[in-house]
Amino acid sequence: MRDSTDLSASPSPKGALPDVLRPAAGAARAFAEQAKAENTKRAYRADWRCFRSWCGERGLDALPADPRTVTLYVADKAAPSDGSAPLKVSTLERRLSAISQAHRMSGLPSPASTREEPLHSVWAGLVRTKGRAKDKVAPALTPDVVAMVEALPTVELLDGSRQLTTAAKRDRALLLVGFAGALRRSELAALTVADLGFGADGMRLRLRRSKADQEGEGATLGLHYGDRPLSCPVRAVQDWIRHIAITEGPVFRSVDRHGNVSDRALDSGSVARIVKRAASRAGLDPAAYSGHSLRAGFATQAARAGAHERAIMRHTRHKSERVLREYIRDGQLFDENPSDALGL
């Protein structure tokens, strides 16, 4: 069955696609390319290259691939014979999705269905053996974020006082807004000055598009002024914008080692590196933290503080209550814990 995104053939039985419809077909292909987030497409391309390389080394066809080829590929990557590290179940799931996408975009049936044999039985045994548990990053809770901010580097001024370096001013604003707004890395990187609004109550953030909002409906968040100037997200952003004197363009930009600020926005990877570097300065294990730690930390901290689930979900913009409740459960592990009654 031809995939709906394969528009090279005529929709009528008369033959080739008429010239008058070719511009429409090109536009349709362009829209189809935007159906998935750029990070997802990048991961799929890398996964597809891996599968194609694996097949090539063994003289097997990658496109179209036989279901038995995919089954052997999964088994080999789950229990490698070459001494390499086995892939996690979550990674293998993504690899199968990439294989399916490559076939469907070529108008071919997917050979990577875990509901059909021979992959079905192998996959069921694999999940039963290895489990589906995901490695979670450590949530950056309020004390962690405050410690990260307090550990940012400073420079001494002529009068003997100290102030944050240019990069540290950016990092303070990024850490505090990412935490208080429960923002994803991509959302932090995409913020522009036009997305910010300041008032007596605090700051309004306009999120134009995010991972869970591929249709671009957008969302608006409100962040109150904090009790402490050092850890107030609103004041931190105002200080950063005032320091680099910008009125438009990206909020969070790259800064070189000399303190020169670029016109270009940070990318998602840079956001993650900033969080890890801040964690290390604060004496935390950088390997346990990532860009997602800020968002996870908000949900966990809010749950510990007794915030209502609906209010947390509205702020984090989670589409799934199940995913949000994973954070809430983590945040409430030690609340009314029955182990308190053991008298140990």
295 a catalytic residue: yes
95 a catalytic residue: no
225 a catalytic residue: no
Alpha-carbon distance of 192 to 208, in angstroms, equals: 10
318 a catalytic residue: yes
Positive or negative, the CA dihedral 77, 78, 84, 90 is: positive
Q: Given 103, 295, 315, 317, which residue is catalytic?
A: 295
211 a catalytic residue: yes
The answer to whether 274 touches 125, Cβ cutoff 8 Å, is no
Residue 243: strand pairing partners: none
Q: Given 184, 185, 235, 317, which residue is catalytic?
A: 184
Q: Given 95, 281, 292, 315, which residue is catalytic?
A: 292
Amino acid at 332: Q
Alpha-carbon distance of 344 to 334, in angstroms, equals: 15
Q: Given 44, 73, 289, 327, which residue is catalytic?
A: 327
Distance of CA 115 to the CA centre of its chain: 28
User: Could you give the 3-state DSSP secondary structure of residue 99?
Assistant: helix
243 a catalytic residue: no
Contacts of 61-65 spanning 24+ positions with Cβ under 8 A: 63/102, 63/103, 63/106, 63/108, 64/103, 64/106, 64/108, 64/111, 65/99, 65/103, 65/111, 65/112
Going along the chain, which residue ranges are E strands?
Answer: 154-156, 162-164, 196-198, 202-207, 219-224, 253-255, 261-265
Q: Given 211, 243, 273, 277, which residue is catalytic?
A: 211
Alpha-carbon distance of 125 to 119, in angstroms, equals: 10
Residue positions annotated with a catalytic role: 184, 211, 292, 295, 318, 327
